[in-house]
Amino acid sequence: MSLFGVQEKIESLRKAISEHNYQYYVLAQPLISDYEFDMLLQELIQLEAKHPEYFDANSPTQKVGGTVNKNFESFTHEYPMLSLGNTYNEEDLRDFDQRVEKQLGHHDYEYVCELKVDGLSISLHYENGNLLRAVTRGDGVKGDVVTDNVKTIRALNPQLKGAFPSSFEVRGEIFMHRPAFDKLNQERADSDEPLYANPRNVAAGTLKLQDSAEVAKRPLDIVLYQLIENTPSVKTHFEGLNKLKQWGLVVSNETKICPTIDAVFNYINEWDEKRKLLSYDIDGVVIKVNDYSQREELGFTAKSPRWAISYKFKTEAALTKLLSIDYQVGRTGAITPVANLEPVFLLGTTVKRASLHNANEIERLDVRVGDFVFVEKGGEIIPKITGVNFSKRQMDLPQNQYITHCPDCHTELIRKEGEAQHYCPNESNCPTQVIGKIQHFIHRKALDINSLGDETVELLYMQGLIHGLGDLFTLKYEQVIALERMAEKSALNLLEGINAAKSIPFPRVLFGLGIRYVGETVAKKLAKHFKTIDALMLANKEELLQVDEIGERIADSIIEYFSKDKNIDLIAQLKQAGLQLANLHEEQLLSEKLKGKAIVISGVFTQFSRDEIKHLVEQHGGKNVSSISSKTDYVVAGDNMGPAKLEKAVSLKIPILSETDFITLIQNEIS
C-alpha cells in the first residue's frame, strides 16, 4: 500500500469509528456489533503505530490515554457552576412554580425535565470543533483541568459534526454504569482488594487519577445537559440540547418538555418507577425553565438559579440496630448526637453511623439505644435516622438522657432560647473548638494554607505551640522542625505557606475568622460595604442591617463576636502579623451618582447584558436589589419585564428607566 493509500485508509478508519461512536452513544442505534467495532479500532491502532507521521491528537485511538499529570492545573469558570436548590416533596415544588409565575407575572412558560444522573459535574470547552479543555466543578468558581482524562471517554466524540460555533462551553455529568462498576468490583474481589463503595465515588476518583492510561481502563460515560454561548444561537434550553445532539455530543433521550407543573409531576412519578430499570444511578429530576429570556428575568440567588430546581426521589430506607450514641463538638461549639449502628448496606454503601441532629429530634423519634431504627441517606453525606420500629422494641429499654456537659472539655452545655442545639460555651479552651476554628481558618476558601493540613494543626495545638488563630504567625522554624515526622522541606513549606497567607484578600480573612452565620458570601458583602475590619467592628445593628442580605440573626452574631475582648485581641494580633484586613485593591468607583440608591434591574436589554448593567450600578455607587419595595429608588426595565413587577413599580410610583434613560442618568444628564 502506498503512503498516500495508508493515509487515506487511516482517515477512513477514523471517520468510520467516529461515526459508529455517534450511532452508538448519541443516537443509541448501533450499526455494527461490538466485535466488529473492536476490529476496526484494532486495525487503526496498528496502522497508526506503523506510521507515526500521521499522528492526530483527535484520533479515536487516543482514548487509551497515556498522559501523566502530577498536578492538575486550576481554571476559573467564566460562568460559575452553581448548585441547585433541592426539594423532596410536591408542596415545595409547587411553591417553586408559584414563585416563577409571580416573578414572570404570567403563566406563559414551560419547563424542561431531565434525569438527575448521580455522577460528577464537568465543563467542556470547545474551539473550532475540538475539545480544548475539560474542567471539574471544583468549588463552583474554580475547578481542575482534567482534559486528558476526559478524552478517554469513548462516548465523547473527539471532533464535532455539522455547523457549530467556533467557541462554546457545554456542561454535563460523568458517571459509571452499574454493570461496569460490578465488573470492576468483581475483579478487585478476585484479587483480594477492597471493594469500591459506589459508582459515583469510582467515577470521581477515576477522573483525578494522574495517569490517563489508567483512566482509560475504567469505563466512564458522559451525558451533557447545558449549552453555554456568549452570544446564544438558540432561544430555549431544549433547542440547545438538540443542537448538541446534531453536533455529535451525547444528551439524554429521556429529557422532556413539560408545559405545566402537573406535567412535571407526571414525569417525576414515571421515572421514580422506571429508574430501577436504568443501567446507571439517578437520584432525582432537574426542572428548568425552558426559555432563556425568562431565565434572565428570573435571575439568580447567591448560590443557585431561580429558574431551576432539583427534585430528589425519596431514598430507600434500611432497618438496623442502634448500638450507642456519641456526641460530637463542632468548631462553633454545637453538639451533634451521632448514632452508632449495626452495619447495614444502603444504596451502594455500608452504613455504620447516622446523624440524630439534636435533642429535639431524639425526643421526637423517641429513639433509644437497643432500638431497631430506619436509616435513610436523604441526600445527606451522613445518613440520618428517620424512625423507630416500635414492634421490635424490648420492654425494658430506658429513655435516652441527653448529655449535660461537653464530651471534650466537660464544660456544662447551654441551650439558647429558640434554638434546637446545645452548645459548649468554652470556645477559648475546648480543644475541639479551638482546633476546628484554626482548621477553618486555613481552609482553601479562607487563607488557603495548603502546606498546613488538619493533622498538623491538631499536632501543633496538642504540643502547645498554638492556642488560637493568631499564634500561627508567630511559629518559628525550630518549633516546627521538632514536630514528629516533620522534614526540613516540609517545615520550610509550612512557614512559607503561612507567610503567603498574609496576601489573602480581606473578604477571605473575614470568612476565616469563623464568625457564626458569616459564610463566604456574607463575608464578601460585609467587606465590600464596610471596607475595613475597624469599620465593621464599630458598626451598630442598624448599620449592619443596611447591608444587602444581612438579617437580625447575622447582625446579632457579628455584634456579639466583636463585643468579646479575646476577639478584639485576635484582630490586633492579625494586624500585627500583616494580614489584609481592609479592601486595599477594591475597584475604584467611576462616580457616586447612584450613591445610596437601591435599583432593580428587570427584563432583557440590547446594549448591555443584565450583569453588565448591574456592574454599572455598582461602579457608580448604587446597590442592586432583587425585589421592588417602597425603598426602591429606580427600576431599570428592558424587554419582557414581568407584568407583576411593572404593576408594583407603578403602584409605588417608583421611577421606571429604559436602558437609554439609565445610561443618561449615570452620565448625569438627567436628575
**Helix, strand or coil for residue 556?**
helix
Q: Collect all residues with Cβ–Cβ distance below 8 Å to 235 and sequence separation of at least 6.
A: 291, 292, 293
C-alpha cell recorded at residue 254: 429521556
Q: How is the beta sheet containing 308-312 ordered, strand by strand?
A: 86-87, 308-312, 282-289, 111-117, 256-258
Question: What is d(CA 494, CA 91) in angstroms, rounded to the nearest whole number?
Answer: 51
Residues in the chain: 671
Cell 492556642 maps to which residue?
Answer: 467
Q: Can you list the pairs that 320-326 forms with residues at least 24 positions away whose Cβ atoms lie under 8 Å?
A: 320/344, 320/351, 320/372, 320/373, 320/375, 321/370, 321/371, 321/372, 321/373, 322/367, 322/368, 322/369, 322/370, 322/371, 322/372, 322/373, 322/385, 323/369, 324/369, 325/356, 325/362, 325/369, 325/400, 326/407
DSSP-derived 3-state class of residue 144:
strand
Q: Is 116 a catalytic residue?
A: yes
Burial class (CB in 10 A: 0-12, 13-18, 19+), 277: exposed
The radius of gyration computed from the CA coordinates of the chain, to the nearest angstrom, equals 29
- Give the CA distances from residue 405 to residues 335, 369, 402, 415, 557, in Å, rounded to whole numbers and listed in that order: 10, 20, 9, 12, 24
Identify the residue whose cell numbers are 456526641: 327
Sequential DSSP letters for 412-434: BPB--TT-SS-B---TTT-HHHH
| Strand ranges, E, within 365-482 | 372-376, 384-388
What is the signed CA dihedral for 441, 443, 447, 451, rounded to 10 degrees? 110
Cell numbers at 174, concatenated:
460523568
> Quick one: which of 597, 610, 603 has its CA closest to 654?
597
Q: Of 9, 15, 102, 116, which is the active-site residue?
A: 116
Cell 429570556 locates to: 293
Q: Are strands 634-637 and 598-602 parallel, antiparallel or unpaired?
A: parallel
Active site residue ranges: 116
